[in-house]
Each structure stands twice: as structure tokens, then as C-alpha cells.
Structure 1
Amino acid sequence: MSALDQFRTYRRKKIKKLGKRLIRAVSRFIAQQSLIGDEPVFDKNVFPFTAEFEANWQKIRTELDGILQHQDALPAFHELSPDQHRISKGDNWKTFVFYGFGYRVDDNCLRCPETARLLDAVPHIENAWFSILAPGYHIPPHKGPTNGIIRIHLGLMVPKARERCHIRVDDRILHWDEGKCIVFNDYFEHEVKNDTDETRVVLFFDVDRPLRPLGRLVNNLLNAIIRRSAYVQDAKKNMRDWKPVADA
């Protein structure tokens, strides 16, 4: 590694450390500005659009089945976002991305038009992808980068032994059901375990947390700063460069 590369790596680590301190301070303020409280898990009815996803889940599942015919060609999470290397190992957590950090992946949306139609109608969507978890894989405990995001999972492919496949959010244990949404705050520590011999797939998407006007302004500013970071720019480049499934 050249001296310039070493300097860039050092600078990135320092900026990341400083950014985490800033985000922690801002996140406390955002929690106070929340219109839906600050619990680890929310009632899905807080977000009325979840009903549309549940009503159309079989159409989404049909599109997923087509994508899974090319599962070996799909990128692992850390191949798109290298900063996720601690929680994404090997080919155990694969993705098919529709939105990443507010950036719409048009080629992928064209391949799943019903899924894209539903996602496009969601207000203030930030991220969305098919999250494909291999049998026996454990995503270790981690936290999202900000408190301004609410995460939704729509169960699409749930192992028969569902009691052995779950997500822990803070002190809450949640199990998926096919065609049903769960809603949680990913700023709380969470982890996923698939202790079965079957693949688990959810449609995973993030939306901006409903906030009072000042909180919304601060959250939008924070998101704009994060989008300019190397953490996001590297991921966006990888999403643009990734070879589409149909061409694999």
C-alpha cells in the first residue's frame, strides 16, 4: 500500500469515528422529535402502506422466484457495501437491490415491476432489497447508523421451522410469517438467526421516521451528509457496476 493509500485509509477511519460521535448526538435529538415514540418494535398499522404489501405479497413472491433462479449470481451484502464485512460473510447473505441510500436501481426495478410499483409508492423510502439468508447463518448483533430510519420486513420465504428462525431487536424476539410485515427501529441492537436447513427471504425496506418539522429538517441534513460519505459512495458505485441478473 502506498503512502497516499495509507493516508486515505487513516483519514477515512478518523472521519468515520468523528461521524459516529456526531450521529449519536443527533440521534438522541431525533428520538425526542419522533411522532411515533422510540420503541424497538412498532405496530405495522402505524404505516398504512404495509397493507398494500401484504395484499400483494404473492405477486412479489412470484418475482422473487424468478430472481432466485440466478441466486448464485447475486451479490452478497458486503460485496455491495464493504463496510458490512463484519456481519456479512461469504455467500450467506445475498441481496437484490431496488433502492440503496435513496438511489433507485432501475435495471433491477424493471425485472420486478410489481415489487417496484409498490416500493415507488412508499413515502420517503431510503433502502429496499430482497434479503436472502442462507440456512444456518447468523447475522451478529449490530445497530443501524442513525435513529432516523424505520425498517420493514415483508416475509416472503420463511422456513417451516419458523421458531428456529428469528430476529432479535433489543429484548424482543420476532418471527416472520409469509405475507406479513414486521416493523422495527434498526438503531436498536438487532441480530438474525436462521437455525434451519432452509433459506429465509424477506423484502427489506427502510423509510424515514415520522418526525416533527425541526426533527425532519435535522434528519434530512444528516442523511445528506451520510450520502456524501465514502461509506455510501462506495456502495452506490458497486450497485451501478454490478452485472444484472439477466446478463449473468
Structure 2
Amino acid sequence: MAKSISVDHALVRKAANKYFLRSYGGDRRPRFTSPYPLFPAVRELEAKLPQLQAEIEELMKQRELGRYEDIDPVRAAQISKDWRLYYAYVLGVPNEAARKDTPTLLEFAEKTPGVVSAMVSVLEPGVNLDPHAGPYAGILRYHLCISTPEKNPPRIRVDQEYYTWKAGESIVLDDTFEHEVRNEADEPRVVIIIDFRRPLGPLADSVNRWFLRTKREASSKMIQLSNGDY
């Protein structure tokens, strides 16, 4: 049976997820929340928004970002083959190309405690992310919108709640709930995604750090594939 490059250690992961979510409020945990109480360091990143926008605009001119089908075909078959991603930093491993492509994002990821991964996510017109749930509960997911269509802007559903992106605005979502996205506009939606460690008690946080270290082996491969090096 084919395995996902980004999903492994199924039995241990399932037990860890249950432990993390129980420690974080169970089903009462928020679907969306402001980033600043949980991840205040992002204020520094957001202060550099024009720089980020310019770097990502140039990246998209110079490079065709990797299709999710080419990065992780097993997960892509469940979510979207045509979702485009550029990994600047994955599980503590930097994409060396990002030192030129997205230096502001990579610098932030490398120096900021708690950052697990940082990437550029592009959803082109007509591309949807089918209903799915994140496989690992040890992280929360931060979105900073770089650009989004003004007419008929796409929105994300997390469980039964919705959020519509606006350029320059940010949100944190808990992707362990079922979520989906539809882009029915005529322009792409571009966001920065940063996964950071879910705030947990000392014991649960130690377990989370250990588990994230065990997943690091996939990092270099994911970076390579998102760079288009097949």
C-alpha cells in the first residue's frame, strides 16, 4: 500500500493526537482564533508584509510552484492534485533555495521558537481543497493572506465555521477539524502558512517535540519536490 510522505507512524500518531487534543480542550477548542495571544512573534513578520508580498510575487514569476500531486500523491488524491506549495522550512530543515526566493519568511522561521514549518500556498482559479482533516494534532496553522481575489473571494470552512481571507490579514485555525476550501474566483489566492507547536503543558509539549523530531526524515524530500526537483 502506498504511503504518504507527510503522514507516518499511524498508531503512535493516533495516540499522540488524542492526548494533545484532550490536553487542549477537546471538542471545545476553537476552530479559528486570533494569532496574537498564541503566536505573538508573528507581529514582526506582519510588519514586513510589503517585503513578503514582493518576494512571493517574484517567486511566482520565476518559478512554477510544485503541485501537491508531485509532492505527496497519496494525500493529494484525498485533497487536491493541483494545490501549489513552496516549502521554505519543514520540521526544522531550511530550503536553501528560500534564502534567495523567500528570505524574509525563512529568516523568521529559523529564528522563531515554536515554528515547525513555513510555506507559500497558492490556490489557482477553479482549484478546490476537498474536505479533509490535518493528520497531526501537535500543531496549529497560521495563515497570512498575501493576495486574494476582490470579487468572489474564496473562503475556508473549518467544521461549521467560515473565514474569508483578506489581503494583509491573518488567522490561526485548528486543521484537525474537517476543513475545505473552494476558489471559484478568476484569480489565485496566495497565503503564507506557518505551522507552530500547539501550546500544551510541559509533559504534552515534551511528547510533541519528540514526535516532531521523528517526522523530520521526510523534510528534505518534501522540500526537493516542492522545488520541482523530481
Please say whether Structure 1 and Structure 2 have the same fold, judged by a TM-score greater than 0.5.
Answer: yes
How big is the alpha-carbon RMSD for the aligned residues of Structure 1 and Structure 2? 2.6
What is the match of residue 84 of structure 2? 94
CA distance in structure 1 between the partners assigned to 2:103 and 2:84 by the alignment: 20
Note if contact 2:86-2:226 (Cα within 8 Å) is conserved in structure 1: no
Task: Give 5+ residue unaligned stretches, structure 1.
Answer: 1-8
CA distance in structure 1 between the partners assigned to 2:14 and 2:222 by the alignment: 27
For residues 154-209 of structure 1, give each alpha carbon's deviation from its aligned partner in whole angstroms, at most 9, with x where no partner exists.
000110125x4001111110011111111011111111111101111001110111
Instruction: Give the structure with the larger helix fraction.
Output: 1
What is the match of residue 154 of structure 2? 165
Task: Give 5+ residue unaligned stretches, structure 2.
Answer: none
What is the match of residue 220 of structure 2? 236
Which SS does the other structure have where 2:89 is aligned? Answer: strand
Q: 1:31 aligns with which of 21, 34, 43?
A: 21
Residue 184 of structure 2 is aligned to residue 215 of structure 1: no
CA distance in structure 2 between the partners assigned to 1:25 and 1:143 by the alignment: 16
Question: Which stretch has the larger CA shift, 129-138 or 217-226?
Answer: 217-226
| Length-normalised TM-score, structure 2 | 0.86
Q: 1:123 aligns with which of 103, 113, 118?
A: 113
CA distance in structure 2 between the partners assigned to 1:65 and 1:150 by the alignment: 26
For residues 42-75 of structure 1, give each alpha carbon's deviation from its aligned partner in whole angstroms, at most 9, with x where no partner exists.
222222122222221111000011011134x321
1:238 CA displacement: 4.7
Note if contact 1:170-1:190 (Cα within 8 Å) is conserved in structure 2: yes
Note if contact 1:110-1:116 (Cα within 8 Å) is conserved in structure 2: no
Q: Runs ≥4 in structure 1, deviation > 4 angstroms?
A: 241-245
Residues 177 and 82 of structure 1, relative CA distance in 2, 3 Å threshold: same
Which SS does the other structure have where 1:130 is aligned? Answer: strand
Q: 1:43 aligns with which of 34, 51, 67?
A: 34
What is the match of residue 5 of structure 1? none
Which SS does the other structure have where 1:236 is aligned? Answer: helix
Note if contact 2:140-2:198 (Cα within 8 Å) is conserved in structure 1: yes
Residues 243 and 137 of structure 1, relative CA distance in 2, 3 Å threshold: closer
Question: Which stretch has the larger CA shift, 22-31 or 208-217?
Answer: 22-31
Which SS does the other structure have where 2:215 is aligned? Answer: helix
CA distance in structure 2 between the partners assigned to 1:74 and 1:241 by the alignment: 10
| Length-normalised TM-score, structure 1 | 0.80
What is the aligned length? Answer: 224
Note if contact 1:53-1:154 (Cα within 8 Å) is conserved in structure 2: no
Note if contact 1:108-1:244 (Cα within 8 Å) is conserved in structure 2: no
CA distance in structure 2 between the partners assigned to 1:136 and 1:216 by the alignment: 39
Identity fraction in percent: 28
1:123 CA displacement: 1.6
1:244 CA displacement: 7.1
CA distance in structure 2 between the partners assigned to 1:244 and 1:227 by the alignment: 20
* Matching residue's letter, 1:58: P
CA distance in structure 2 between the partners assigned to 1:121 and 1:42 by the alignment: 24
Note if contact 2:145-2:190 (Cα within 8 Å) is conserved in structure 1: yes
Residue 101 of structure 2 is aligned to residue 111 of structure 1: yes
Which SS does the other structure have where 2:177 is aligned? Answer: coil
Which SS does the other structure have where 2:135 is aligned? Answer: coil
Note if contact 1:96-1:108 (Cα within 8 Å) is conserved in structure 2: no
